[in-house]
Chains A and B, each alone.
Chain A
């Protein structure tokens, strides 16, 4: 089967075609909002949407959730046109800095949202307990929302988004404001969702968190997609090269490596070199270790998401 033939059989959780939302123009005459967003998000995938502030991430989310209407273009979410209440039975949404009715406690809040899905009785109470335990809020279930910290709001925000066991979960900065332990817990929840075949559409500034978990990625800048594809393709560096990074490398030690490396820099306390073969890279690492340098990275030449992001955004400016 050809590559194109195989693509036809991939089920898409989200499919947008030239999705555009214009709010007006900036002082340079460029449209403000989102322009010509064309994305395919496969089912069962964690997909990351990143971009600087004002790049159109929240606009994209609002469009996909039917909270605002596109100026032009179209989108399907789980096969349904955006705004159709039918697909909302199968999605969950974790907003950034969630806002809830603040006179309710966690159990009442989940009971309210669960009721909107037709959950009630034992089924609802079991689901509520299960989710509050999952996000670490069961012991604090009687505290009113108005007394929550930002981290507690995020946790309950995640719990309410999972009430209906959704097939697709939209998350806007889900770990924002959380301590490192809580961030790890949320990441574990996201990974467990993927293991269960769920699709996660993740918007975040925390690029280091996105890199290891996202299979697909799109980088937005000024309302346009500047890079999109699988994480591997977006982060790919020079084909077949190996990269060695180290700190506190003495100039004399670096000189010994010069003959092995294809390219090398050593400034500001940061040493970086690229090698044609893994053998050369390993030999160079040995020299550095003997010279008491601190090796920080040795592996195939691959950019970090942060580098890819900065390069993509710079290229646009």
Chain B
């Protein structure tokens, strides 16, 4: 019994020291080499598959997530030099984008430039796409075009694929 207690206490102590060391090492290596490459400002979440009535308009809610600390311009940015977020579906995919309804942007100002009000999306947002699909199974490669920034820097405009399996019944 005493032996088991000894083993238990030794394991706990070793674990505590090991975990602290590993955590510290991991944090310091991260702080010293923070790459500027941020390739995943926006991620498409879901749906991966939808069933819609063939030949009739159907509403599909597309969910996206913006990486923490970043924002993207809304569909209606506050200034004409800013790049709006837009969703599109290429022609010839068997699915037509009839219309897209975008959420209203959140008003945001940068600490260094409080006079300029920006209309942005942060966190998660949903685009309501109204689509018309022909009968059959269509693997649609929609496109989301956006431009992301944090408080001090901006990344170039980017287009990501929005892959949805649309089944027209």
Partners in one complex: no
Q: A residues near B, CB below 8 A?
A: none
